[in-house]
């Protein structure tokens, strides 16, 4: 099953016999803003207009735990996450489609969590809400309670030690912007740079016009050029496990399984005892 779905396919699926549950995960990275500019409010954006029947999911509250020693977006408490999914109507035998405001990062985080915890049928709306040509609604639905019970997967998740080991034994991709990887700037975390051995692979280069994913064949070529082969285990990290999930999604579109280091650079760089590499080269 393809990990993404386009707007026309979604419209057909919604009109079918087993329509998907829709999750709205509009979210933006919190960085310094101009004086007087309010922070992005995903719930307010949802209330202003969303796909019919979609339920809002709060990334910071329901798809992550509170920031701390394990990064800015640690894994959520699975009880909280499961309750949020059931409240949204998610069941184990019902397909799910996740979307956000277009960048795809928030939607990818929900996609990754659902897949990692055992849901068999989850896709991301390619291009997000801007790609949708149908009507929007402002009313808040009250779906029937779902039955999804998240069970953490045995694979697909890396901790700091696992990421360091994978950088030596396989391919560890850094999904952040190149200047953060090189250590030239660091707007959020304690220090700039990258995990020694990691390869710079900005997830923004996996998409084209309208933030839609590049064709699978192009993604295969891109990842091959970054050192990914059929025999190499692949891992991804980013700043806090959100844009990294988007890169894992791009790899899935290319047919390449990959693990996610959820703590990512926000966890790694918080420990002064962990090594930091700078510059354009992995080492």
Given the residues 238, 248, 254, 260, select the one marked as catalytic.
238
- 200 has which bridge partners? 174
Q: Which of 102, 153, 109, 127 is nearest to 264 (CA)?
A: 109
Tell me how far apart the terminal alpha carbons of the chain are, to the nearest angstrom: 37
Token code pair at residue 29 = 């990275």
Whether residue 238 lies in the annotated active site: yes
Distance CA 49, CA 46 (A): 5
Q: How are beta strands 122-125 and 96-99 bridged, if at all?
A: parallel
Distance CA 198, CA 202 (A): 12
Sequence-distant (≥ 6) Cβ neighbours of residue 64 within 8 angstroms: 72, 73, 74, 75, 76, 109, 241
Please list the active-site residues.
Answer: 238
């Amino acid at each position: 099953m393809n990990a993404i779905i386009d707007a026309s396919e979604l419209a057909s699926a919604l009109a079918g016999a087993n329509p998907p549950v829709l999750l709205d995960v509009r979210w933006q990275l919190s960085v310094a803003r101009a004086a007087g500019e309010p922070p992005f409010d995903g719930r307010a954006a949802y209330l202003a207009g969303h796909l019919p029947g979609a339920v809002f999911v709060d990334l910071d509250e329901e798809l992550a735990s509170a920031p701390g020693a394990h990064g800015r977006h640690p894994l959520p408490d699975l009880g909280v996450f499961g309750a949020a999914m059931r409240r949204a109507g998610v069941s184990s035998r019902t397909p799910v489609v996740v979307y956000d405001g277009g960048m795809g990062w928030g939607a990818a985080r929900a996609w990754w969590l659902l897949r990692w915890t055992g849901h068999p049928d989850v896709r991301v709306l390619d291009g997000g809400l801007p790609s949708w040509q149908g009507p929007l609604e402002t009313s808040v639905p009250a779906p029937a309670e779902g039955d999804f019970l998240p069970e953490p997967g045995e694979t697909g998740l890396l901790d700091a030690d696992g990421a360091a080991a994978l950088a030596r034994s396989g391919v560890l991709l850094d999904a952040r912007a190149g200047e953060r990887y090189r250590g030239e700037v660091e707007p959020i975390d304690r220090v700039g740079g990258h995990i020694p051995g990691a390869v710079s692979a900005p997830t923004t280069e996996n998409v084209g016009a309208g933030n839609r994913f590049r064709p699978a064949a192009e993604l295969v070529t891109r990842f091959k050029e970054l050192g990914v082969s059929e025999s190499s285990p692949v891992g991804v990290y980013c700043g806090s496990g959100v844009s990294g999930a988007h890169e894992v999604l791009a790899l899935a579109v290319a047919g390449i399984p990959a693990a996610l280091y959820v703590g990512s650079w926000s966890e790694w760089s918080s420990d002064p005892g962990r090594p930091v590499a700078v510059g354009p080269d992995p080492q």
